[in-house]
Structure 1
Amino acid sequence: MSNNNITGTLFIVSAPSGTGKTSLVNALVRDTNHLKLSISHTTRAARPKEIDGYNYHFISEDKFKQMDMAGVFMESAEVFGNLYGTSQDAVQKMLDEGHDVVLEIDWQGAEQIKERFHQAISIFILPPSIDALRNRLENRGQDSKQVIDTRMEKAIAELKHYHKADFLVVNDDFEEALKSLKAIVKSNRMTTAKQQVINARLIANLLA
């Protein structure tokens, strides 16, 4: 049955750098029907293998500030000297089409969205340990020790905001963490409020 008569749910996934949230979110979107990934805008340079319009919309700082002043972004934040923002219209369009939408953003953006969209569901990804977090950052092979140290300091500060999320998922084993994320998304879609719209024809026939 068509899903166009049901409004989707907005999921927010936050975690410190190096926790593995990007890999988890990409796998979640790949494996889940009706779930779309919101592509954020950023002023940072693309990393190796990142594609403009797929991983991020890479734009200049001047362009970002113009869009921000025009009210384009539903949330925006500065992270490690780079600006990030989420397009209000792009997200709302997907929600109105009946898709669930997942945002991969930092805790600052998550708080901004929860203030405006109380029905959004927030998920915080935890690392299994501080040592594991540092090892993951070092194994990327992308950053100097100084940059890694800075990221670790920020990560520890970010972890203090975990309690503001609706759900917590520990990324110790990737597949288990992915199963947990899928369960959160699936359970939300199985609520009576949503199922009575998705299966309206079936319910009408059963009660006829």
Structure 2
Amino acid sequence: MEIAAAIQRRGLLFVLSSPSGAGKSTIAQMLLSTDDGIAMSVSATTRPMRPGETDGVDYHFVTDAGFDRMVAGGEFLEWAHVFGHRYGTLKREVMKVIEGGRDVLLDIDWQGTQQLKQVDPDIVRVFILPPSTEELERRLRHRGTDSEEVIARRMDRAASEISHWAEYDYVLINNDAEKCRELVHNILKAERLKATRRVFLHDFVRGLIG
């Protein structure tokens, strides 16, 4: 029956959000490396490709005109402006993961999460907080990928992003990446066990009670 549960459990949309530098992307990669049952949805973006990134793996990099066509064609579950560029979750990417029998991990901000909640209310939303603003700024500088101007913009935006914490189902403070990853993984495993997502239970219980 555990095999049946794995096959017949309904996949879920698992959202991770945080201000830049709080650790969302790191936690996401750690989660992907420790759980074969979840896969990342590859978003589309209009921002330039950074060194070390691969088109179709990190993001689908598109032009502004291309993004406009995708919006007009209804290709996105959600999309938003972030730091002068647009990011969107592609329906085809989400369906590819779900049809493969896995959960979908979405690394999106509060704007996208609000849109996604309207499209599909059955999502799990996790917000990751930094331990302090000082630590947040330290992490941004440690990445070494942003200019002083961009870091200042990210810090200015952080307070606005954090103000949406109460809209999420779970809120974690990332004092330690591995401990935070473990908590996120525990949330995922608990959500998978909810009766509404284990569709095989209807027939199984019917068989038990005759």
- Same fold (TM > 0.5): yes
Q: 2:113 corresponds to which residue?
A: 110
In the other structure, the counterpart of 2:169 is 166
Map Cα deviations across residues 156-192 of structure 1 (whole Å, 9 max, x no partner): 1111001100001111111110001000100011223
Comparing 181-190 with 46-55, which one deviates more in the overlay? 46-55
In 1: Cα distance, 2:87 partner to 2:10 partner = 26
Equivalent residue number for residue 134 of structure 2 = 131
- Aligned position for 1:63: 66
Which segments of 5 or more consecutive residues in structure 2 lack a partner in the other structure? none
Secondary structure of the structure 2 residue equivalent to 1:128: coil
- TM-score of the superposed pair, with normalisation by structure 2: 0.90
Q: Which moved more, 1:141-150 or 1:180-189?
A: 141-150
Query: Structure 2: which amino acid aligns with 1:40?
Result: S
Match of 1:100 in 2: 103
Deviation for aligned residue 1:39 = 0.5
**Which one of 72, 88, 91 corresponds to residue 91 of structure 2?**
88
Matches within 5 A, 1:21-32: 21-32=24-35
Cα displacement (A) at 1:145? 1.7
User: Contact 1:8/1:94 (CA < 8 Å) preserved in 2?
Assistant: no
8 Å Cα contact 2:44-2:62 kept in structure 1:
yes
Confirm whether residue 145 of structure 1 aligns to residue 159 of structure 2: no
Segment of structure 1 superposing worse, 3-12 or 40-49: 3-12
What residue in structure 1 maps to residue 37 of structure 2? 34
Give unmatched runs, 5+ long, in structure 1.
none
Partner of 1:177: 180
Q: Tell me how far 1:50 sits from its aligned partner.
A: 1.3
The percent of aligned pairs where both chains have the same amino acid is 37
| Match for residue 11 of structure 2 among 4, 8, 11 | 8
Q: Distance in 2 between matches of 1:192 and 1:69?
A: 37
Pick aligned residue for 2:49 from 46, 49, 61: 46
**Per-residue displacement from partner, 1:28-76 (whole Å, max 9, x unpaired)?**
0111131111000001111221111111111111111101110000101
- What do you get for the CA RMSD once the two structures are aligned? 2.1
Q: Which one-letter code corresponds to 1:183 in the other structure? A: N
Contact 1:8 1:97 in 2 (8 A): no
Q: Distance in 2 between matches of 1:93 and 1:54?
A: 14
Whether the 8 Å CA contact 1:42–1:58 is kept in 2: the answer is yes
Does the alignment pair 1:74 with 2:62?
A: no
Q: CA deviation at 1:197?
A: 2.3
For 1:204 and 1:28, locate their aligned partners in 2 and report how far apart those are by CA, in whole Å.
35
Q: Report the CA distance between 1:205 and its aligned residue.
A: 8.8
Change (3 A) 1:8 1:196: closer
Q: 2: distance between equivalents of 1:94 and 1:161?
A: 28
Q: Alpha-carbon deviation of 1:20? A: 1.2
